[in-house]
Structure 1
Amino acid sequence: MGLFLAIISCSHDSHDKERESFDVSLLTQGSELQLSGEYEAFVRLNIIYLKKAVKMKYKEGKGLCYLNMAGVNVSAGNYEKARFFFIKAEKDLGNSENAYHKATFYDDYSLYYSHLKLNDKAIECNNKAFQYLKEAKKTKLTQKLLPRLYVNKGIYYAWKGWLGTSLKCFTKANALENSAYTNCMVAQYYLFIHEPDSAGIYIAKADEKMISQKTTDVESLWVYYTMGYYYNEVDNSEQAEKALKKALEINIKTRRTYSSHIKEVYKALADLYKKKNDGGKAYFYLKKYMEEEGSSDAARFAAMNKATEDFISEVKQESDWHKNDLPLFIALSITVLTVSGVYVHKMINGLKKKKNTLKEQTNALKNRVQTKQLEEITELAKRNDSSFLLKFKELYPDFIKVLLKINPDLENSELTFCAMLKLRFSSKEIADYTFVQHRSVQQKKYRIRKRLNIPGEIDIYDFFENLTE
């Protein structure tokens, strides 16, 4: 009997180790693929492990696959699909004897609610995650999850305005993990409450940890963005530009994951150059921000939607799938068709509103840039500066082209004179700025009329004003 019990015990231990190995491998690989933006590879991984869970008769393993699919749909903004997968995951994980399963479920669920700006629900789920994590046995997975629970709690409390509790959560997370990311989150808090001196201490620590520890590309991007934000706050434009440009470099690798990060980088660069009074670059990055705002969500949605459909079709072909799970595929197929249409409609409406707002901002900045350039070239003309014509061409690139099309033999001096008329300088002003007699300016006007075939009844200023229209 003792030998029999020993055999049963060994079998049970082996069974538990197999499942624990399943969990660690799935969640570790899944996290790496999600953070790298490899959606297709992420879905393929979950298909493999879903089939494996079926063969092992490990329903909690299936639940973790559904939870992964829910989480990646949240990051892509597919909240309806995420909700569907959360419901499926809860059925498999809700009664799990493994408290870590429940903790990670409620952690992901809290992030879902935070994306929907439902902070009270996010905090409620976060509290449940803490409760179950306390009951779970200590493993590498639980040690990794605990500081992230504190970070998320800090974010939720900050959004609710509970700043004291928020700071306690961030500092607790940092004490546990002490990584580039957790130091960065403490810095974010101090920037949020406008205490750049305190933020600077943690920015330096985040920079140090990013060099000494292995930091994911997505988290590095976020750290560099925070550094750029900090340096802009303390008027160190050179370091701010350097950090934000570094974030852009990292974006090449992570473009399909959490694209809201890169939108914020573009916005920060636009603000930086606006502060430096460099209207041209400010306009360029605001335009990039607007383009990213208008296209990234749709691109991510399309990629994630295709990946989700691949997940459905692949699993349908699994010969070992239980018959009682067939309704899942039917429901999921219907969901893909109906929810996609609803989501796309909502997304398009939202993008239209954002696009209109951004278009207004972009036009305002564009007008500001043009006004500043006009002031600059006007000042160059008043000083009779030789670079006047070159700068004028930058502001009115088509004007000179049209003049040369009318008469290819026009000289630079004549083009410069036409440019001054385009700016509506009077004959007296032109005479004063170019150090010639008023009569000479009148003669030049006459010659230009002949060279460009301008009829005598047409006002010469109106001719140049309407030349490029």
Structure 2
Amino acid sequence: MFEFRKILFLLSLFFSFLAPSQQKLTAKELKAKITNNSKLYKTNIDKAYQELNGLMNQSVILKDSISEMKLLDRKCRYFYSKNMMDSLIITSENLQKKANKFNDIYFEAMSHIYIAEIYSINKFPDKAISNLNSAYKILQKGDPESEKIFYAKANVLSSFANIYLDKNQPKEAAKKIYEQIQSGKQLKNKFERDNFQYLNYANLANIYSQFNADSAYHYAKKSILIKPKEVIDEKAMVDNYSVIGKVYKEKKNYESSLKNFHKALYISKKTGMELNANQIYHSLKEIYDILNIKDSSDFYKNKIEQHELKALKSKYNSLQEVINKDKKEQEKAQNAFWYWIIPVFASIGIAFFITKRKSKKPLIESENETRPEINLSETYHDLIELLEKRDPAFMFAFEKVYPDFSARLLEKNSELQQSEIEFCALLKLKLTTKEIAKISFIETRTVQNKKYRIRKKLDIPQNVDIYHWIDQI
């Protein structure tokens, strides 16, 4: 079973984003779009996300750096909510670059928080903590009275709690949320304070559900009670109903348990917040197994398999990105080291360098000698066989042969969907339009349309053969 995040980011309180338009917007119209799209995000995250890409151009045209960073930040939140960690790492790095360029403390700190989450999920807690410490250090430069800085610091605490959860230390995670609850007392506006604590109590309920059912139930009910009426049901309410459902399940009150899990699932589907959906699927399947309702059990079994495959692909891709990022950081550190140390070596004498070069040469040759060769003919056959069987392991096998393929495609266009990357993998294997249609059970015209969309997304000139272009990736 996959264990997803327990702590909700608190960013939606102050920051909104833009809606799409085919015409150039004025600054005033841009602000109106921000407000409208913020409301849409709370009710339907998928529809809201569809509006983001087109509006990035508007913010660039207007040279509105703040809106540009808001859009990137919103994309990060979307990918986080969807558990799309591979897309999150790329977008958070883009946000970090923009924040550094425009010297924006808030967004620079948030980029570190997102990156910390990715490191923690991929089992690099030290790297995660390092990024959170960087985020907090950056925020210390900001105005302590600023509400924006206050909420960013709250996110640092939430992320620390997530790291403790990933390390299976829920009691330590709970302490971090208690710190947030204490900090919330400084909010003077009652609506803001109640909304802030409603989220915190939902997070606390989620954490306690791992080791203390009574406390979990207590905080879930408290969260529901304190929630302002004006606030639309979203992720926190999904957590509350899930926790209550879990408590009833443990008490073998299956009727009440099902009722609460279905409430949670309804809100999750309605809003598009899928972060913990798989946990709900598992719980529903277990209950229907106990009640011997096979049709419902099979339905949620299929949901679990689909969800876990999607999550595993995303996690696999994000792990590759994390490893690549870590490599780059190590290389950068080594380069910095040699930048300072070379003058010292130069003063000792050229002979030292000759000796070092000679000692390294056999090591490189040894690495080349032991590197395994790939039997491309056999590998190609295996990949095609997986495709013909419609085996979900195809992309995992493909990524082993071409480990940088997805990352390089995403460098060309970070908005590529997983299905589009998989389609490009078929082109990489030089499958014809008819072969792709046969394997995928779709019309040849559909394959041609997909090729056309890939050309546009990757900006492949019409006079360039798409197979040749993909083969260079």
TM-score (norm 2): 0.52
Q: Which residue of 2 aligns with 1:136?
A: 142
Q: If you compute each CA radius of gyration, which structure gives the higher value, 1 or 2?
A: 1
Q: AA paired with 2:208? A: Y
Q: Which residue of 1 aligns with 2:281?
A: 266
Contact 2:161 2:173 in 1 (8 A): yes
Q: AA paired with 1:332? A: K
Measure, in 2, the Cα distance between the counterparts of 1:89 and 1:113. 17
Measure, in 2, the Cα distance between the counterparts of 1:248 and 1:290. 15
Contact 2:177 2:200 in 1 (8 A): yes
Measure, in 2, the Cα distance between the counterparts of 1:243 and 1:121. 37
Deviation at 1:183, TM superposition (A): 0.9
Deviation at 1:157, TM superposition (A): 1.2
Measure, in 2, the Cα distance between the counterparts of 1:101 and 1:340. 30
Contact 1:81 1:339 in 2 (8 A): no
Contact 1:122 1:156 in 2 (8 A): yes
Extract unaligned runs of 5+ from structure 1.
1-19, 302-327, 346-469
Pick closer, same or farther for the CA change 1:236–1:158 going to 2, 3 Å. Answer: same
Q: Which residue of 2 aligns with 1:208?
A: 225
Q: Which residue of 2 aligns with 1:407?
A: none
Measure, in 1, the Cα distance between the counterparts of 2:156 and 2:31. 18
Counterparts of residues 118-267 of structure 1 (less than 5 Å): 118-137=124-143, 138-175=145-182, 176=184, 178-193=196-211, 195-210=212-227, 212=229, 214-254=231-271, 256-258=272-274, 260-267=275-282
Contact 1:266 1:288 in 2 (8 A): no
Q: 2:89 aligns with which of 83, 93, 96?
A: 83
Deviations 1:236-271 (A, max 9, x none): 4343222112223324413x432x533322221233
Deviation at 1:105, TM superposition (A): 1.8
> 1:111 and 2:128 equivalent?
no
- Alignment: residue pair count: 293
Deviation at 1:146, TM superposition (A): 3.3
Contact 1:241 1:269 in 2 (8 A): yes
Pick closer, same or farther for the CA change 1:134–1:21 going to 2, 3 Å. Answer: farther
Q: 1:332 aligns with which of 412, 434, 459?
A: 412
Measure, in 1, the Cα distance between the counterparts of 2:278 and 2:79. 19
SS in structure 1 at match of 2:231:
coil
Q: Which is bigger in relative contact order (C-alpha 8 A, separation at least 6)?
A: 2
Deviations 1:195-220 (A, max 9, x none): 22222321221221246562442321
Measure, in 1, the Cα distance between the counterparts of 2:118 and 2:31. 23
Pick closer, same or farther for the CA change 1:127–1:335 going to 2, 3 Å. Answer: same
Deviations 1:60-83 (A, max 9, x none): 543443343344334445444433
Deviation at 1:93, TM superposition (A): 0.8
Q: AA paired with 2:412? A: L
Q: AA paired with 1:266? A: Y
Contact 2:117 2:128 in 1 (8 A): yes
Extract unaligned runs of 5+ from structure 2.
1-26, 185-192, 313-407, 426-473
Measure, in 1, the Cα distance between the counterparts of 2:32 and 2:413. 28
Contact 2:170 2:208 in 1 (8 A): no
Measure, in 2, the Cα distance between the counterparts of 1:330 and 1:248. 32
Contact 1:22 1:61 in 2 (8 A): no
Deviation at 1:30, TM superposition (A): 6.2
Pick closer, same or farther for the CA change 1:69–1:127 going to 2, 3 Å. Answer: same
Contact 1:63 1:90 in 2 (8 A): no
SS in structure 1 at match of 2:51:
helix
Q: As a proportion of its length, which structure holds more helix?
A: 1
Q: 2:291 aligns with which of 262, 278, 286?
A: 278
Deviation at 1:29, TM superposition (A): 6.3
Q: Which residue of 1 aligns with 2:62?
A: 55
Contact 2:205 2:240 in 1 (8 A): no
Contact 2:201 2:220 in 1 (8 A): yes
Deviation at 1:50, TM superposition (A): 4.3
Deviations 1:406-440 (A, max 9, x none): xxxxxxxxxxxxxxxxxxxxxxxxxxxxxxxxxxx
Contact 1:107 1:129 in 2 (8 A): yes
Contact 1:70 1:86 in 2 (8 A): yes
